[in-house]
């Protein structure tokens, strides 16, 4: 009996897309065949096999009528097409119709309400919204990353509430490290409040730097990553005179992120409420902190707040108020006995609920229904 073939399509080179990797790996371990169609970038191979996942990277070529990647998607015959985000949905819909296959739409975020949509021309926005509405109603299953986005998509497009498969990290043993303190030559008794990821506008980075003014000397803010905002960040740090309280650490490989995060004492997620997608966000860094056993201080937005309060794993704050951000950091790190209690809660939250093993069961339940 041949394996059910899943064709996943995404608009990146697959190197750093942990959600797609976890989903594909779970399906392969459950007996499915998975081919990932993604984009060719300068440093990637056109074809390779990663953990049993067949990866085909396509170069976009100009075409007067039909884009070549659509032709390639149709030609890659599958039993189930899995569209990752709105940018791949039309191609997967056409390929599924042509090949009489099932269609899954995996909405990684509230695409029409992301920060970048403010710069998209009105006619294109209307087209994308109509496309998402039209195809969502014709999918065999819709998946998204949290309850708020699932409810919003159901309400907006009059569809059955999508299945929720959260971006939780893989359940692996992670030993506490001192990589950050060692690399930055910090005293072992100093506490690290860590922001990790790309340095971009609207992520609350500027307010977090301002918060450093209100923190005691024993707490240092570390930015681990890179991004276009770094020069501006360095200027702000100098202007505020907080060079001793704010440090930079280079970006680490995606498979080492949790290991490095484990050497922090607190994870910071200070997203600004600049769009509905931010307001409903449950970013990867949240689940990476849980996997690393690290408490969290985050913006007081519904989905993140729900997780923090459910297991008492940290504090929430108004991301517009540097003093409140600093107060939240200090409430977690300034009390040794409470910090130990919170760390135990983080471990309980990760092992009991917020790990990929739990989410995998939901994904496989969806796929078993599609098979039958």
- Joined together, the tokens standing for residue 220 give 């240092």
Band of pLDDT at residue 64, cut at 50, 70 and 90: very low
- 197-244 per-position pLDDT tens digit: 999 888 999 999 999 999 999 999 999 999 999 999 999 999 999 999
Stretch 267-285: mean pLDDT = 94
CATH number of 5-168+355-371: 3.40.50.2000
- 217-230 per-position pLDDT tens digit: 999 999 999 999 99
Cα gap 29→26, rounded to integer Å: 5
pLDDT given for residue 69 in this prediction = 83
Does this chain's domain 5-168+355-371 share its CATH topology with 179-352?
Answer: yes
Q: At what angle do helices 322-333 and 336-352 cross, to 10 degrees?
A: 90
Cα gap 173→294, rounded to integer Å: 14
Write the CB contacts of 22 (distance below 8 Å, at least 6 apart in sequence): 170, 356, 360
63 pLDDT above the threshold of 80: no
Domain boundaries defined on the chain: 5-168+355-371, 179-352
Q: At what angle do helices 122-136 and 89-98 cross, to 10 degrees?
A: 40
Q: Calculate what percentage of the chain has a pLDDT beyond 90.
A: 85
- In eight-state DSSP terms, residue 137 is T
Within 10 angstroms of residue 23's Cβ, the number of other Cβ atoms is 28
Q: Calculate what percentage of the chain has a pLDDT beyond 70.
A: 97
Closest CA relative to residue 27, chosen from 7, 57, 55, 49? 7
Partners of residue 142 on adjacent β-strands: 105
Closest CA relative to residue 166, chosen from 368, 356, 367? 356
Q: What CATH class is the domain 179-352? A: alpha beta
- Max distance between CA atoms of the chain, in angstroms, equals 68
pLDDT given for residue 68 in this prediction = 66
Within 10 angstroms of residue 244's Cβ, the number of other Cβ atoms is 10
Stretch 11-26: mean pLDDT = 92
pLDDT given for residue 177 in this prediction = 81
Question: What's phi and psi for 12, nearest 5 deg?
Answer: -150, -175
Stretch 311-328: mean pLDDT = 97
311 pLDDT above the threshold of 60: yes
62 pLDDT above the threshold of 70: no
1 pLDDT above the threshold of 80: no
The half-sphere exposure of 66 on its side-chain side, counting CA atoms within 13 A, is 11
- Joined together, the tokens standing for residue 54 give 């067949």
């Amino acid at each position: 009996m041949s394996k059910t073939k899943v064709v996943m399509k995404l608009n990146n080179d697959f190197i750093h897309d942990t959600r797609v990797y976890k989903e594909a790996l779970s399906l392969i371990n459950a007996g499915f065949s998975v081919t990932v169609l993604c984009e060719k970038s300068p440093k990637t191979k056109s074809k390779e096999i990663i953990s049993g996942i067949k990866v085909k990277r396509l170069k976009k070529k100009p075409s007067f009528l039909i884009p070549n990647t659509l032709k390639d998607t149709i030609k890659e015959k599958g039993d189930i097409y899995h569209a990752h985000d709105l940018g791949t949905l039309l191609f997967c819909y056409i390929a599924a119709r042509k090949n009489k296959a099932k269609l899954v739409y995996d909405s990684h975020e509230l695409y029409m309400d992301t920060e970048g949509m403010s710069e998209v021309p009105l006619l294109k926005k209307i087209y994308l919204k109509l496309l998402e509405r039209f195809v969502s109603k014709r999918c065999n299953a819709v998946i998204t990353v949290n309850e708020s986005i699932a409810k919003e998509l159901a309400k907006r497009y009059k569809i059955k509430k999508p299945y929720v498969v959260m971006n939780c990290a893989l359940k692996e043993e992670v030993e506490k490290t001192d990589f950050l303190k060692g690399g930055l030559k910090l005293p072992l008794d100093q506490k690290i409040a860590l922001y990790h990821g790309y340095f971009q506008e609207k992520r609350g980075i500027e307010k977090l730097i301002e918060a450093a003014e209100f923190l005691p000397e024993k707490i240092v803010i570390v930015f681990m990553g890179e991004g276009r905002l770094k020069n501006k960040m360095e200027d702000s740090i100098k202007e505020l005179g907080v060079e001793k309280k704010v440090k930079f650490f280079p970006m680490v490989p995606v498979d080492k992120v949790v290991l490095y995060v484990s050497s922090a004492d607190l994870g910071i997620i200070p997203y600004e409420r600049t769009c509905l997608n931010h307001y409903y966000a449950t970013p990867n860094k949240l689940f990476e902190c849980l996997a690393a056993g690290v408490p969290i201080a985050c913006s007081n937005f519904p989905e993140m707040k729900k997780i923090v309060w459910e297991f008492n794993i940290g504090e929430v704050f108004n991301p517009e108020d540097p003093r409140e951000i600093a107060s939240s950091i200090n409430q977690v790190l300034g009390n040794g006995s409470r910090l130990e209690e919170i760390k135990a809660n983080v471990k309980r939250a990760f092992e009991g609920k917020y790990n990929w093993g739990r989410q995998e069961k939901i994904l496989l339940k969806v796929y078993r229904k599609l098979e039958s």
